[in-house]
Structure 1
Amino acid sequence: MNDQNKNLILATALSFVVILVWFTLFPPPEPTPADPNAPVASTQMQAPTAPTPENTATSPSMAMEAGADVPRVVIDTPRVKGSISLLGGRIDELALKDYRETLEPDSDIVTVLSPLGSADAYYAVFGWAPGQGTEINDVPGANTQWTVERGQTLTPETPVSLVWDNGKGLTFRREIAIDGDFMFSITQSVENASGAPVTLAPYGVLTRHGEPSNAKKFFILHEGVVGMADGKLTETSYKNAADLGYNEREGARAEVAQVAESGWIGFTDHYWMSTLVPAPGTPFKSVTKYDERRDIFQTEAVLQTLTVAPGATISADMQLFAGAKEWEAIRHYQNEGGVAGFVDSIDWGWFFFITKPMFWLLHTLHGLIGNMGWAIIALTITIKALVFPLAYKSYASMAKMKELQPKMEELKKAAGDDRQKTQQAIMELYKKEKVNPASGCLPILIQIPIFFSLYKVIFVTLELRHAPWIGWIRDLSSPDPSSILNLFGLLPYAAPEPGSLLAILSLGVLPILLGISMWLQQKLNPAPTDPVQAQIFAFMPWVFMFMLGSFASGLVVYWIANNTITFTQQYLIMRSHGYHPDVFGNIKASFKRKKQTPK
């Protein structure tokens, strides 16, 4: 076996290992489980304990009341719609006007927040935790009936103000505003006319009843709690949140972190997110909590305890992001709004140092071209251009090795059966001719992190969701919907459902083109003389075709473009160094060998 074929087998085997490990670590999504949540019965709010020595309040209670028909304030902006319940003052209905659940034009728009009593109840609550000397009934709670003081509909131009008087001299107000995208601003104030000082701690809470029924449960994707605390990103899955140790002070399974200067905490889904954002520079207590009795996940941001003197008024600000994880919007909140590290709420993965700039380049190309499919091809060309110097050396070395084949055969004949002598002679020949036999593997090795990073970008970023390319490719984040089993739509029946056994054989147009592109690239070199090697190489493109057939269309588009460019580069570079690949001759030879193979 010559060194050229050894390198090719090594590179191919490495690719196989990578793909197999990939499928092991990142299996297809599990079937969507049934909704485990049910309406929660009414319970009394429990009074939190006294403030901590560091002058921060304890967390608010996790108790909630059953849903009911109550007055609401409408939310209506160009991008979102929903409402605020005056019972508890919860922001608990929110849907995104720009996004639909499926590609169908009459599909429901995406829901982010849902009220208590609905499936996957998920809402935001703001309020005041009582400090030392303040009674639990003196502050607004989950069953407090708020009154609209100003504004009837929440829009970017018209904030609303809610008010509640506790009847003991304390008047609570909550002003809610929203911008043109997905950021709410909540200003809470307390006016003290009681004649005595009171201590209170403002808080924000995001409550989620049960793990979301539409969770993807992919290893490559983080879904669950996400937060930033003084520059440190934390990601806690629902499973890990449910396994947190019991915290006596919080009265539930909980994890607590003290944030000194800046941070945020909330829940992230695949494409959507809700996050509590205290004002930059504001110390707060960040809490992740799970109530196993009622299967409730909760994140809290509790600000420092404040004292309201008689006749005085205090206020506290907090923001709530609830919407789509659009890169431009989130980056704007980070760069212009001062929300530190907010772009990291997008799950960039282990190769973040590659995925971040890769997405930036893809996003920029999409802005110039206007089509994400062509932007992926342009990205492929750009990547190939960046690694061209290394590829040039690799293909030039491969061409040089082809020229040395006659000399290598002479050395083998001269050494006879002495393999050690043969290897030493060949290594001396490589050294003399300045050839690196391992350089042929470099293009494959470079492609591995690029492949993983691009897969991550295509899978996790919202901008690829429902992004069309050409014709039948209407969603580059999903597999090719065409199928060879119905002759790509010519026969009057649908393709097999994803996840079924037949779906494995239901190859679309793009996976078939991928297999052909790999097969043609293989034909730049003659097949190995060893029949076992020849059979391995013959099956390789078609195995990859089936393995990658269920991947996102955008990734397959990248792979086809990469193979095409690699074929062209390798052909031209090898010709420029004196080796003339006989592609058509190699194709003919492969068919002749098949005919001559005994049955």
Structure 2
Amino acid sequence: MDIKRSVLWVIFVGALVLLYNNWQVHTGHPSMFVPSQSLPHPAASGAQGANDVASTPAGAPAVQSGAPAAQAQLVDVKTDMFDARISTQGGTLERLQLLKEGDAKQPDTYVTLFDDTATHKYLARTGLVGGDFPNHTDVFTLVPGPTTLADGQDTLTVRFESPEKGGLKLVKTYTFTRGSYVIGVNQQIVNAGTAPANPSLYLELVRDSQPVETPRFSHTFIGPAVYTDQHHFQKITFSDIDKNKAEFATQADNGWVAMIQHYFATAWIPPQGKDRTYYVEKFDPTLYRVGAKVPLGTIAPGQSVDIDSKLFAGPEEEKMLAAVAPGLDLVKDYGWVTIIARPLFWLLEKIHGVIGNWGWSIIALTLLIKAVFFPLSAASYRSMAKMKEITPRMQALRERFKGDPQKMNAALMELYKTEKVNPLGGCLPVVIQIPVFISLYWVLLSSVEMRGAPWIGWIHDLSQQDPFFILPLLMAGSMFIQTRLNPTPPDPVQAKMMMFMPIAFSVMFFFFPAGLVLYYVVNNVLSIAQQYYITRMMGKGKTKKLAAPTPPKQ
């Protein structure tokens, strides 16, 4: 009948299962819950040059790889935000470092999104389909001009021109803007031939399924996504693509496509109001892509068509993303707790605007949440205190009727009724609070704002584990104290297991980001203080009741 203990056992077993599953994923083994994803084979990736990844969207002619690759050049582009490299083969953006997002563990390096190496491939490319037209395998010509954003300059344009092919010429212009993670991409399609042409423009993101670095024992989504006003945000796992089970909107005149990873995302945003077809597929043993194909209509000889698109590549900061395109802020994905997590992050951000330190903001938010839930916590702790008081009597009843479960349950129910104790009283208030605390977990795990954010002293990055494990040790100690404050299970084996739980949980917290552990430590300390205060007040009230003078006889 001890419902609270049963719930704790379920949570404990579930945590052990999740711990084992995340360890499996971390060590390269398949997940117990999600089918294994195809990882790139280094040798295969290394054998493929940019010209070998020549597949184009459905409807395009086969493209021959070969001699043009030797003519391709790499163009370095530098701005205040990016250190980029664009290949003249297709005018493909094949390397992009974020200069505002330096690696906290290696200050001289930066976060790299697009990349093309022997072990990792991640590209943003475009081209024309619908005929033998210029595409990402053709060698373009760099139009002479600056490739570095000069001091005092707000924008930098870098232009590439394709050779005439199938009567069409493609002019691709990248526009980099100071202080912005959005790259403007204008594509002018010129019909230099003698016959009308009816091409479509494709914009796609190509990458392998190689995982990115995430906190140990934590699993975050990596893969493509499609957004439309009608179907909203749709994530697609690599495993679903492998099994041809990917579900997403394919037709729209709005929306965007993206590749998502922990803290960062890239997205192609075609011009709104133009019909497009979205596609997601695996087109190579190690490579996946998500893209949009935009019909351009008939282009008569001597005419041209201009298409302006946006390419986002940067951190998942909600305000910034929402300003770039409708729904783009959803790439910062909280999963099924989004409805609670988004308001929590909004509140955390407001607190940070006043305090100016993310660590202290986490503490302040935890204090605020505990204050809001104090009535529920008080009810739970009162119920637990009453259960602790009658635990010896419960043990005596279990011992007396251990051979007759029916009589034992009846005796326990009578005891609960006599002492006015509700076995669910300590459980339900906790269950109500669980979604909020899970949501805050995802807020802290998903927020790129924690990356490189210091707190005090030895904590220089709230997104990394505590270097000296001080917070995890405090976490283990606080869990041990909480266990001591709770009613002792009558079964000696259960009692030992309850004492072992803090150690088991603490294993995970030794590898969690410091910001997450800080939240749990503060939450536990506040819970201990609340429980101690309420239990002490109940004890004083009972003492006063026992010491009350007996009224004189009449």
TM-score range normalised by the length of the shorter chain: 0.7 to 0.9
1:542 is displaced (CA, Å) by 3.5
1:426 is displaced (CA, Å) by 5.1
1:424 is displaced (CA, Å) by 4.0
Amino acid at match of 2:42: D
CA, structure 1 residues 365+29, in 2 after alignment: closer, same or farther (shift >3 Å)?
Answer: farther
**Aligned with 1:186: secondary structure?**
strand
Equivalence for 1:19: 15
Which of residues 431, 445, 462 in structure 2 aligns to 1:445? Answer: 431
1:122-137, aligned counterparts within 5 Å?
Answer: 122-130=122-130, 135-136=131-132
Which of residues 113, 116, 140 in structure 2 aligns to 1:145? Answer: 140
1:414-429, aligned counterparts within 5 Å?
Answer: 420=406, 423-424=409-410, 427=413
Confirm whether residue 267 of structure 1 aligns to residue 227 of structure 2. Answer: no
TM-score (norm 2): 0.81
1:505-520, aligned counterparts within 5 Å?
Answer: 508-520=469-481
Which of residues 160, 163, 171 in structure 2 aligns to 1:162? Answer: 160
Equivalence for 1:112: 113
Amino acid at match of 1:231: H
Q: Residues of 1 paired with 2:60 and 2:465: CA distance?
A: 45
Range 399-408 or range 10-19, more displaced = 399-408
1:62-81, aligned counterparts within 5 Å?
Answer: 70-71=72-73, 73-81=75-83
Which of residues 170, 173, 176 in structure 1 aligns to 2:171? Answer: 173
Confirm whether residue 328 of structure 1 aligns to residue 328 of structure 2. Answer: no
Could you say what the CA RMSD is over the residues aligned between the two structures, in angstroms? 3.9
**Aligned with 2:511: secondary structure?**
coil
**Aligned with 1:279: secondary structure?**
coil
**Aligned with 1:438: secondary structure?**
coil
Give a deviation string over 1:472-522, Cα, whole Å, max 9, x none.
22332333222xxxxxxxxxxxxxxxxxxxxxxxxx222221222123233
Q: Residues of 2 paired with 1:531 and 1:227: CA distance?
A: 54
Q: Residues of 1 paired with 2:135 and 2:481: CA distance?
A: 71
1:96 is displaced (CA, Å) by 0.7
Equivalence for 1:40: 48
Equivalence for 1:205: 204
CA, structure 1 residues 389+237, in 2 after alignment: closer, same or farther (shift >3 Å)?
Answer: same
Which of residues 551, 560, 578 in structure 1 aligns to 2:521? Answer: 560
Paired positions, count = 523
Range 567-576 or range 138-147, more displaced = 138-147
1:538 is displaced (CA, Å) by 3.8
CA contact (8 A) 2:379 2:429 kept: no
**Aligned with 1:228: secondary structure?**
strand
1:423 is displaced (CA, Å) by 4.4
Which of residues 373, 392, 395 in structure 1 aligns to 2:359? Answer: 373
Confirm whether residue 521 of structure 1 aligns to residue 516 of structure 2. Answer: no
Q: Residues of 2 paired with 1:111 and 1:142: CA distance?
A: 23
CA, structure 1 residues 537+345, in 2 after alignment: closer, same or farther (shift >3 Å)?
Answer: closer
CA, structure 1 residues 23+528, in 2 after alignment: closer, same or farther (shift >3 Å)?
Answer: closer
Equivalence for 1:244: 244
1:539-578, aligned counterparts within 5 Å?
Answer: 539-578=500-539
CA contact (8 A) 1:201 1:305 kept: yes
Amino acid at match of 2:8: T
Q: Residues of 1 paired with 2:94 and 2:21: CA distance?
A: 36
Give a deviation string over 1:522-572, Cα, whole Å, max 9, x none.
343575666445434444433433453333322222222111111111222
**Aligned with 2:123: secondary structure?**
strand
CA, structure 1 residues 278+476, in 2 after alignment: closer, same or farther (shift >3 Å)?
Answer: same
- The gaps in structure 1 that reach 5 residues or longer are 50-57, 246-253, 334-338, 483-507, 583-599
CA contact (8 A) 1:355 1:456 kept: yes
CA contact (8 A) 2:478 2:525 kept: yes
Confirm whether residue 29 of structure 1 aligns to residue 26 of structure 2. Answer: yes
CA contact (8 A) 1:153 1:160 kept: no
TM-score (norm 1): 0.75
**Aligned with 1:555: secondary structure?**
helix
**Aligned with 2:106: secondary structure?**
coil
Amino acid at match of 2:78: D
Confirm whether residue 463 of structure 1 aligns to residue 424 of structure 2. Answer: no
Which of residues 304, 309, 315 in structure 1 aligns to 2:300? Answer: 309
Equivalence for 2:181: 182
**Aligned with 2:346: secondary structure?**
helix
Give a deviation string over 1:161-207, Cα, whole Å, max 9, x none.
43345288644322322333211121212233544322111221222
**Aligned with 2:523: secondary structure?**
helix
CA, structure 1 residues 73+309, in 2 after alignment: closer, same or farther (shift >3 Å)?
Answer: same
CA, structure 1 residues 577+185, in 2 after alignment: closer, same or farther (shift >3 Å)?
Answer: same
Equivalence for 1:589: none
Q: Residues of 1 paired with 2:498 and 2:372: CA distance?
A: 29
CA, structure 1 residues 47+416, in 2 after alignment: closer, same or farther (shift >3 Å)?
Answer: closer
Range 409-418 or range 536-545, more displaced = 409-418
1:260 is displaced (CA, Å) by 1.5
CA, structure 1 residues 231+218, in 2 after alignment: closer, same or farther (shift >3 Å)?
Answer: farther
CA, structure 1 residues 285+61, in 2 after alignment: closer, same or farther (shift >3 Å)?
Answer: farther
Equivalence for 1:501: none
Q: Residues of 2 paired with 1:563 and 1:48: CA distance?
A: 54
1:353 is displaced (CA, Å) by 2.2
CA, structure 1 residues 414+47, in 2 after alignment: closer, same or farther (shift >3 Å)?
Answer: closer
CA contact (8 A) 2:234 2:248 kept: no
Range 441-450 or range 386-395, more displaced = 441-450
Q: Residues of 2 paired with 1:272 and 1:238: CA distance?
A: 18
Q: Residues of 2 paired with 1:123 and 1:530: CA distance?
A: 60
Confirm whether residue 535 of structure 1 aligns to residue 496 of structure 2. Answer: yes
Q: Residues of 2 paired with 1:566 and 1:158: CA distance?
A: 55
Q: Residues of 1 paired with 2:7 and 2:336: CA distance?
A: 23
Q: Percent of aligned pairs with the same residue?
A: 33
CA, structure 1 residues 358+479, in 2 after alignment: closer, same or farther (shift >3 Å)?
Answer: same
